[in-house]
Amino acid sequence: MIAENVVPIRVREPAEMGQLVGKPGETLTETLRRTLLEMIVFGYFERGFRLYPERLAEQFGVSLTPVREALMRLAAEGFIETVQRRGFHVRAPDAKQVVDLWQVRLGLELMAGEILIERLAAGAVPMSSIDVLDGLMGQLEASPQTIEHRPKLSLNAEFHHRIVELSGNDILVSLYRGIQMQLIGEWVQRGLQSWRSRLGNEAEEHRAIVAALRAMDRDAYATATRHHIGRSLKDALGDLAERGAASGAEKSL
């Protein structure tokens, strides 16, 4: 319940998005960070909107300390910005942040694939474990003209997450989850339709990655992964530029 003297958080979608739903093993700060990040990424807070820690604590029914900790983490990660004497404000993604994230993603996925190939070669992981990737590709390719953006991002994220999880390296998995590429994709592409025209290329690239894993070919996997993530970065930067142009046009009207 929100106190009468507290201004409700202004969001663009139903308030259910702002409910705290913890995941196993998460601290309250981590749950708050994840919830706020989703609200930022999916456009529930307007760009430039000021986030008041006291109002957020009241909204979520928690103490002020974990809210401040969550906001500081989001600021350190670049999703919000701190302005002296003006608090925390929602920001838009910029090119450097996108490049930094995609570079980290590339390093993690290359390492995960190399470890997975070693495990496949040693028999520590059955080749049948790769079948789940085929299933995910099938879902992505089933209806390219009608699939919605969020389910597409979810399936794509699961495809890449599964490769990392199959590495069996818990630290690597934790690091990969931390960058939350599904949310970053939504943040960059929100409001655009250009992603749909890339589905054919993405499908071909995914097949090349899976083929390299089945062949236990490290070089082929590295080549396929570098090509896929490199193309994805180029498109993400293009999306960012398109969003910037659209925003500029709106301001001039």
Give the tens place of pLDDT for each residue, 91-130.
877 888 889 889 999 999 999 999 999 999 999 999 999 9
Share of the chain above pLDDT 70, in %: 85
* Residues 133-167: tens digit of each pLDDT: 999 999 999 988 888 888 888 899 899 999 999 99
Q: List the structure tokens of 12.
A: 């663009």
**Rounded-to-integer distance, Cα 96 and Cα 156, Å:** 23
Is the pTM for the entire model greater than 0.85?
A: no
- pLDDT value of position 252: 33
Tell me the sheet residues that pair with 51.
Answer: 88
Domains contained in the chain, CATH given: 15-90 (1.10.10.10), 95-252 (1.20.120.530)
